[in-house]
Amino acid sequence: MENRLTLADFDYELPDELIAQTPLMHRDGSRLLTLGADGAIGHRRFSELPSLLREGDVLVVNDTRVIPARLFGRKAGAGGTLFEFVLLERRSLDTWEMLCRPGRRVRPGDGFVFGGGELRCTITEVTDGGNRIGQSISAYLGRIRVFDGKASIDLAAEYKWLKACEAQ
């Protein structure tokens, strides 16, 4: 029987105090989790990476082009379930292709509210790959910064907003 990974296999609890609120000034000081051949877990710094590699080792580099723009919202007028959207690619001035979770419950015509109403989005289609197309996303009042078709968001502010929503 083949073991297949699912997205849920990568869900885990992360304590608030372990979530960076701002990036490090010197990125090579970032923490690096290592796994030894014997299964031992180690905690290092990224600057130590060259000294950890030996001849014959394989270094896998993840160069996927996912943008660090994650939004959390609820269906407009419905409240209830919190949905997570990750902006992938800008399609037009106010339209983005997005990953969505839980995706099965998001259909064309559904409207969503983010950031306490600062942003409203309507899902216009589902792509062949299962991603969603959302329209009216550019109205996020400055929390989304767009550069060359890529987006970033103040994740610390978004995280605080998410925690406030969960507390309601």
Task: Give the model confidence (pLDDT) of 126-143 as tens digits.
Answer: 999 899 998 876 544 344
Of 88 and 78, more confident = 88
Fold of 70-167: Thrombin, subunit H (2.40.10)
pLDDT for 109: 93
The pLDDT of residue 162: 57
pLDDT of residue 16: 75
CB 152 within 8 A of CB 68: yes
Q: How far apart are the first and last CA of the chain?
A: 43
Q: What is the pLDDT of residue 44?
A: 94
Mean pLDDT value of segment 66-85: 78
Residues of the chain with CATH 2.40.10.240: 70-167
**CA neighbours closer than 13 Å in the CB half-sphere of residue 12:** 6
- pLDDT tier at 36, thresholds 50, 70, 90: confident
Which position has the higher pLDDT, 21 or 45? 45
